[in-house]
Amino acid sequence: MKKNTSILLFLSLFCVGFAFAQGHGHLKMSEYYSDHMVLQRNIPLVIDGESSPLQQVRLTIDDKQYSTTADADGQWSIPIDPLSADESYTLTVSTPIETLCFNHVLAGELWLCSGQSNMEFMLKQTPITPDELAQINDSALRLFDMKAAYRTNHVKWSADILDSIQIHKYYSPTKWSTATSQAAAEFSAIAYYFGKMLRDSLNVPVGLICNAVGGSPTESWIEEAELKEYIPSMLNDWKNNELVQDWVRQRGMYNIANAQRPNQQHPYMPSYLFTTGIKPFLNVPIKGVIWYQGESNAQDAITHNLLFKLLVDNWRTAWGNTQLPFYYVQLSSLNRDTWPQFRDSQRRLLDEISNIGMVVSSDKGDSLDVHPVNKQPIGWRLGLMALRNTYHHNVVASGPLFKHALFSPARVIVTFENGEGLNASDGGTIRGFEIAGKDGIFYKVSAVVKENSVILSHGKVVNPQYVRYGWEPYTTANLINGAGLPASTFYYNNIQTP
């Protein structure tokens, strides 16, 4: 239902007149609530905040009025009816003495984009041209950029910074913005390209919350109670805990080297980022999560396997959605010894958690840089994953995934899911496959494609027992399917599946 123009004008002027009240009285709301914000469409919502104790609070949106009374602590919440995505709203919240107004509010698809530095990597850091950047101007793509106030670079933090972190004041103040060239340039590149694909395909407003912290390990994003129940040792003496990656501990200890208190906190500590960056937004329903993280846990695939399951379960429980879509990026290619095993462990998670999806990025890696700059394909692949699995569009969203290996005395036949149109990305010979006999000595082999399978053989391997693909830290493996999406690293043996 479209609003009367005169009513809209009146509300806008009314809100401007009372804007001074925001943040200056007892009526307060999360910084999530600002002009240009996005609320998830087509589901019941709850708007909440603070006021004076026992004060009446009124809310107006979509020509509907709601009211409640704050409790003895001044907390209030108001359920509202679902909002459709076909118009811009004005949200007004008031008490008898104060009014907060939020203009240009949209209902649409709201996604959380989280992880560490590769998700944080800004659009202006990619190869995007100045002309391409200048053309960005989408008023229905909205960005909420939660940047850390204090970078975890190789610096020793001052006493003031340490004090702020200790009381969980870690993020810079932010508010919603439209996707202009200036705002998008400072925003996550992967998140931007993901959101753009959803905008182009769904033709509804899209809101993106970017909350990614460079270097952060998985455990910092999981609630303390969850870790205490399933991996209690993760909470033991963070500075000397072998479950925490050495680099993570070393960088964290360097940052807090000037701390005077023995219990000084740090963003990399278990549960810290959940408490400061996730918990405050749990009353805001989201459509799903895209996640790019793992570099700070890649030394221990076994522990990460458990941590990742806890993360997904924890966030789904916290948001009250047991099937919350969760799409993640498999680690890319880099000359670090543990990365093939870690990539394969990420692939195996697909069979262990419901309603998740994995995007392969190893074909866009950099042998010397943990931050490959070409983020556009990764954002698009995440977009394809959401379009197929969440929005049920008829698109191919995954590259070839290992399904089965049939061993015979002379060869191995490997079959794939999503294997239609197997070929080499560069039009040449398919690279990346290796097979081995019982002696475990691997030989590189060329692949012969047959329908959704590849046939592998080598004259020096009689009775093969092992097969692997992309099993190098930095791999040039080049198998793709007909949709141009790359195959995942995998390892399989015919003796005992690890």
pLDDT in tens, the chain (498 residues): 334 444 444 444 445 433 333 444 689 999 999 999 999 999 999 999 999 999 999 999 999 999 999 999 999 999 999 999 978 999 999 999 999 999 999 999 999 999 999 999 999 999 999 999 999 999 999 999 999 999 999 999 999 999 999 999 999 999 999 999 999 999 999 999 999 999 999 999 999 999 999 999 999 999 999 999 999 999 999 989 999 999 999 999 999 999 999 999 999 999 999 999 999 999 999 999 999 999 999 999 999 999 999 999 999 999 999 999 999 999 999 999 999 999 999 999 999 999 999 999 999 999 999 999 999 999 999 999 999 999 999 999 999 999 999 999 999 999 999 999 999 999 999 999 999 999 999 999 989 999 889 999 999 999 999 999 999 999 999 999 999 999 999 999 998 644
CA distance to 124, 186, 192, 408, per residue, from 180 (Å)? 13, 10, 11, 58
Task: Report if pTM > 0.85.
Answer: yes
CATH homologous superfamily of 5-106: Immunoglobulins (2.60.40.10)
CA distance to 443, 451, 478, per residue, from 493 (Å)? 14, 23, 22
Query: Rounded distance, CA 277 to CA 220, Å?
Result: 10
Cα separation of the two ends of the chain? 58
Q: Around 246, how many Cα atoms within 13 Å sit in the side-chain half-sphere?
A: 1
The segment(s) of the chain belonging to CATH 3.40.50.1110 are 116-389
Which tokens is 320 given? 């009250």
Contact at 8 Å (CB) between 397 and 410?
Answer: no
CA distance to 119, 132, 315, 338, 434, per residue, from 145 (Å)? 12, 21, 20, 32, 43
The angle at the Cα of 102, spanning 97 to 106, to the nearest 5 degrees, equals 150
Query: 116-389 in CATH: which number?
Result: 3.40.50.1110
pLDDT computed for residue 128 by the predictor: 97
The angle at the Cα of 218, spanning 214 to 220, to the nearest 5 degrees, equals 80
pLDDT computed for residue 165 by the predictor: 98
The segment(s) of the chain belonging to CATH 2.60.40.10 are 5-106
Per-residue b/e over 153-169, b at no fewer than 16 CB within 10 Å? eeeebeeebbeebbeee
Query: Rounded distance, CA 365 to CA 191, Å?
Result: 18
pLDDT computed for residue 285 by the predictor: 96
The angle at the Cα of 211, spanning 205 to 212, to the nearest 5 degrees, equals 130
pLDDT computed for residue 7 by the predictor: 42
pLDDT computed for residue 357 by the predictor: 98
pLDDT computed for residue 496 by the predictor: 62
